[in-house]
Amino acid sequence: MSDYVGIDIGAKSVVVSVRRAGRTLVSQEFRQTPEGHQALIDKLGSQVACVVLEATGVYYLDLAMALHRAGLPVAVINPRSFHHFANLKLNSSKTDAVDAALLAEYGECMKPALWQAPDEALMGLRDIGRQINRLTAARTQAKNRLHALRSKSNTLALLIEDEADGIERLDLRIERLSKAALELINQQPHIKQQLANITCAKGIGQTSAIAMLAELCVLPRELKSPQVSRYAGLDVRLCQSGSSVSKPGRLSKAGNAYLRSAFFMPALSAVRHDPNAKAFYEALQQRGKKKIQALCAVMRKYLTGVWACLKLGVPFDSSKLFSTEHLENA
pLDDT-based confidence at 248, cuts 50/70/90? low
As a whole-number percent, the residues of the chain with pLDDT over 70 amount to 95
**pTM of this structure:** 0.79
Stronger pLDDT, 120 or 189, i.e. the higher one: 189
Stronger pLDDT, 323 or 105, i.e. the higher one: 105
| pLDDT tens figures, 265-287 | 999 999 999 999 999 999 999 99
In angstroms, the CA 266 to CA 260 distance is: 11
pLDDT at 59: 86
Indicate if the pLDDT at residue 246 is higher than 80: no
pLDDT at 328: 67
| pLDDT tens figures, 34-73 | 999 999 999 998 789 999 999 887 788 889 999 999 999 9
DSSP state of 112: P
The partner residues of 246 in beta bridges, in order of sequence, read 240
Close Cβ partners of 169 (under 8 Å, ≥ 6 residues apart)? none
Kind plus residue range of the DSSP H or E element containing 13: strand 13-20
Kind plus residue range of the DSSP H or E element containing 75: strand 74-77
| pLDDT tens figures, 82-115 | 988 999 988 778 899 999 999 999 999 999 999 9
In angstroms, the CA 193 to CA 184 distance is: 13
Indicate if the pLDDT at residue 157 is higher than 90: yes
In angstroms, the CA 212 to CA 191 distance is: 12
| pLDDT tens figures, 180-221 | 999 999 999 999 999 999 999 999 999 999 999 999 998 888
Indicate if the pLDDT at residue 162 is higher than 90: yes
Q: What is the pLDDT averaged over residues 122-135?
A: 92
Q: What is the pLDDT averaged over residues 237-251?
A: 64
Q: What is the pLDDT averaged over residues 112-136?
A: 90
In angstroms, the CA 309 to CA 136 distance is: 26
pLDDT at 249: 66
Stronger pLDDT, 49 or 1, i.e. the higher one: 49
Among 75, 310, 64, which Cα is nearest to 199's?
310
Q: Are strands 74-77 and 13-20 parallel, antiparallel or unpaired?
A: unpaired
